[in-house]
């Protein structure tokens, strides 16, 4: 089994209890505020990525599919691009038809959510706004949906 398959099959690493929920406020590339508090009642996946990061680019189609499947129901994806060139992010997002909100950010902004030591890094908040999981590396639609399903059964 390849590392990619292991990552795809892996459930997000649980960090519940060790990290409290922090509210974040970002401004996306359309000028809209993206606040954790605005999404109460939904799961929120905050994904830190960059256009120069191959694993980040690998997971974007799954993140688009995840967002499209759930945005009107129970989950939203917010991408935070940690690139040095905003124009490259704008061009990439348009070319790849990224449908979820994209924030042009930096590591200081990332600290509102948590420490980002590698890309991609994703943080998952439950519908109450509590940070419940964290993962460095690629996440997939299937792994996020499986994690949420396991938590909804409890």
Of residues 124 and 20, more confidence is placed in: 124
Q: Rounded to an integer, what distance in angstroms lies between the CA atom of residue 112 and that of residue 47?
A: 13
Domain boundaries, the chain: 3-152
This prediction has a pTM of 0.84
CATH of 3-152, one of 1.10.3720.10, 3.40.830.10, 3.40.30.10, 3.40.50.450: 3.40.30.10
pLDDT at 1 exceeding the cut of 60: no
Q: Residue 154: its pLDDT value, please?
A: 65
Query: Can the peptide bond before residue 120 be classed as cis, meaning omega within 30 degrees of 0?
Result: yes
From 11, 45, 43, select the one nearest 142 (Cα to Cα). Answer: 11
pLDDT at 75 exceeding the cut of 70: yes
Q: Are 121 and 134 in contact (CB under 8 A)?
A: yes
pLDDT at 148 exceeding the cut of 90: yes
């Amino acid at each position: 089994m390849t590392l990619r398959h292991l990552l795809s099959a892996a459930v997000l690493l649980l960090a519940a209890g060790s990290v409290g929920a922090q509210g974040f406020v970002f401004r996306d590339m359309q000028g809209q505020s993206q606040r954790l508090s605005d999404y109460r009642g939904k799961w929120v996946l905050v994904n830190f990525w960059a256009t120069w990061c191959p694993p980040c680019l690998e997971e974007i189609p799954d993140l688009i599919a995840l967002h499209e499947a759930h945005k009107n129901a129970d989950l939203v994806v917010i991408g935070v691009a940690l690139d040095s060139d905003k124009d490259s992010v704008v061009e990439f997002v348009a070319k790849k038809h990224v449908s979820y909100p994209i924030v042009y950010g930096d590591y200081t902004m990332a600290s509102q959510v948590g420490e980002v030591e590698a890309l991609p890094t994703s943080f998952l908040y439950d519908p109450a706004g509590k940070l419940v999981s964290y993962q460095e590396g690629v996440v997939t639609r299937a792994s996020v949906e499986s994690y949420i399903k396991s938590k909804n059964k409890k």
